[in-house]
Amino acid sequence: MKFDRHTLTLAFCIAFFAPVWAILGPYIGITTGAVALICAGLFTEAGNTIKQALPVSVGFLLGDVWATTVVELLKVMPFTNDINLFLLLFVFGGSAVLIASQMPKHINLSAWLAGFAIGLTIMSPVSKLGTLPLQIAISMLVGVWYVGVFVNFVMEKLNRGSK
């Protein structure tokens, strides 16, 4: 098996920098560290460029807000849980698509929907959210800016002159 320099550098950077976040996150009160890895992967699929970092970040944060709002609304909606969930997902999912379609340079729709799903998955079983939405938001941003943008910067420096 033979690997090129870019692949080896990427493997090293992911192997080194991602665990640093996994170790340090809990020391600053972040219990949602794995979200950073999910978001870094989605950022990579969105183009993995500094140009995409802001729209992807905005999308993730909007998804977190959407998920928090839906989880809170589910607690007070008058119908059965299934009907409430359907209605909220219909309204919030559809509105995310409509809003993002009007601002594609500023909001990455895939990140918004993924952020919404991530937030719902983590927050739905929790009765009191506390700082959980903030922890999720921080982890999302860490995924884009630390595991994504910063690792790309380090890789560029390590691979300089290798072509």
Q: What is the pLDDT of residues 77-126, one digit of tens each?
A: 999 999 999 999 999 999 999 999 999 999 999 999 999 999 999 999 99
pTM of the complete model: 0.93
Residues 6 or more apart whose CB falls under 8 angstroms from that of 48 comprise 148, 152
Torsion of CA 150, 154, 155, 160, to 10 degrees: 140
Looking at the structure of the chain, the number of domains it has is 1
Domain range holding 89? 5-159
Contact by Cβ (8 Å): 17, 153: no
Neighbours of 142 (CB within 10 A): 24
DSSP for 113-143, please give it. HHHHHHHHHHHTT-S--TTHHHHHHHHHHII
Q: Give Rg (Cα) of the chain.
A: 18
Q: What is the pLDDT of residue 162?
A: 63
Show the tokens assigned to 144.
């884009």
41, containing H or E segment: helix 34-45
| Tens digits of residue pLDDT in 3-12 | 998 889 989 9
Q: How far apart are CA 90 and CA 103, in angstroms?
A: 20
| Tens digits of residue pLDDT in 28-83 | 999 999 999 999 999 999 988 999 999 999 999 999 999 999 999 999 999 999 99
